[in-house]
Amino acid sequence: MARVLTITLNPALDLNVETGRVDLGCVNRTRTSRLEAAGKGVNLGRVLSRLGHSVTLSGLLGETNATPFENLFASERLEDRFVRVPGHNRINVKIAEDGGRVTDLNGTGMVAPPDALDHLKSRLGELSGEYDAVIIAGSLPGGFLPEALSELATLARSANVPVWLDTSGPALTAGLLALPDGIKPNLDELAEWAGQPLDTLAAITEAARLLQDRGIANVVVSMGEKGVLWLSPQGNWRSLPPPVTVTSTVCAGDTLLAGMIHGLLEKHHPEQILSTATALSAECVRHAGVGDPQADDFSRLIQQTRVSPWPGHNKNGDMPL
């Protein structure tokens, strides 16, 4: 299996809550709650490790409440190369109501010290020959400029290591300048980058193609229950997920990207890559936490996933989502 490095610059403790309908301004009772060490790169690493890869996690980790992360790394067989910085990691509250509505309350955490980028570069060392893929994922902490994220991506690219980026806003804009091999925006993130609503499949395809025209080889757009659009050098595909009961969409995008990178590293056929990744993401939304490739019915979920070539502007290209 492959060696993968994920970089998380703004990790979080996620408080995942399942409940009935929330009445604002009233006392509500939760059905279940779980506090879990998380962050996009951490979530990606957990899935990739479960898929059999050797995973190293790095980035910035607040030292005040680092223990839950360290416990998770040990239990999931993840190599810890995080740079400890003063302060605490943020706490995010994810409220999943019956019916599938999810509300995120994302907290603020540490402020990166001025020398954080230098320490991180030193910790990463020589990338060439050490990793088969690098994934930079998640938001930026206070004090960490978007241009610094671009530097990290450029560092990996200069070592001839495939780099994937999963972020949004100014961090995405800056990261694109490093020309990562792939990105995975969701619809909202892609619309924000495009500067306009993306209400049809044709509009989504056009925005993704604009990213390809800038030099991004792989553009993976997650569209929730509408599936996934993947534009790649080998062709374009769209997937439709299997029917599942949605409990929480938290971690679904991270799980999807982990499945995509797994298939690419294993050199699977593109349709197999997308069907497996989409099915794994569908498995994820059935419960809190990341997707489980060892789920008893995972093979059935793959079989129920539909993948077809996507030509873009065909007779159905202007259909609303």
Options 98, 199, 254, 296, the catalytic residue: 254
State the pLDDT at residue 313.
43
Residue ending a domain, among 159, 180, 201, is 180
Measured CA to CA, the distance from residue 86 to residue 112 in angstroms comes to 8
> Which CATH number goes with the domain that contains 268?
3.40.1190.20
Q: How confident is the model at residue 288 (pLDDT cuts 50, 70, 90)?
A: confident
- Cα angle at 285 between 132 and 191, to 5 degrees? 75
pLDDT for the residue 21: 93
137-147 pLDDT tens trace: 999 999 999 99
The pLDDT of 10-14, averaged and rounded, is 96
pLDDT band (50, 70, 90) for residue 113: very high
Quote the pLDDT of residue 71: 97
Q: Are residues 92 and 202 in the same domain?
A: no
Whether residue 55 sits in one domain with residue 101: yes
Q: In this predicted structure, what is the pLDDT of residue 57?
A: 97
241 and 106 co-located in one domain:
no
Residue 70 has pLDDT above 50, yes or no: yes
Q: Is the pLDDT of residue 192 over 60?
A: yes
Alpha-helix residue ranges (DSSP H) falling in the chain: 40-50, 67-75, 116-124, 146-158, 169-176, 187-194, 201-213, 252-265, 270-284, 298-304
Q: What is the pLDDT of residue 102?
A: 86
Claim to verify: residue 140 and residue 232 sit in the same structural domain: no
CA distances from 272 to 96, 267, 275, 276, 277 (A): 31, 10, 5, 6, 8
| Tokens representing residue 305 in the block | 């996933």
Q: Per-residue confidence at 248, pLDDT binned at 50, 70, 90? A: confident
Question: What value does the mean pLDDT take over residues 134-138?
Answer: 97
Instruction: Indicate whether 188 and 175 sit together in one domain.
Output: no
Range of the domain at 312: 183-321
Number of domains in the chain: 2
The pLDDT value recorded for residue 320 is 56
Name the residue with higher pLDDT: 164 or 125.
164
Q: Which of 180, 201, 232 is the last residue of a domain?
A: 180
Residue 297 annotated to the active site? no
In a shared domain, residues 211 and 110: no
Quote the pLDDT of residue 315.
43
Which has more pLDDT, 262 or 98?
262
- The domain boundary, picked from 156, 180, 204, lies at 180
- If asked whether residues 164 and 240 sit together in one domain, one would say no
Q: Cβ–Cβ contacts within 10 Å for residue 145, how many?
A: 14
Average pLDDT, rounded, for the chain: 93
Asked if 257 and 301 sit in the same domain, the reply is yes
pLDDT for the residue 318? 55
**Residues 196 and 105 both lie in one domain:** no
Q: Looking at the structure, do residues 271 and 320 belong to the same domain, yes or no? A: yes
Looking at residues 260-288, what average pLDDT do you find? 97
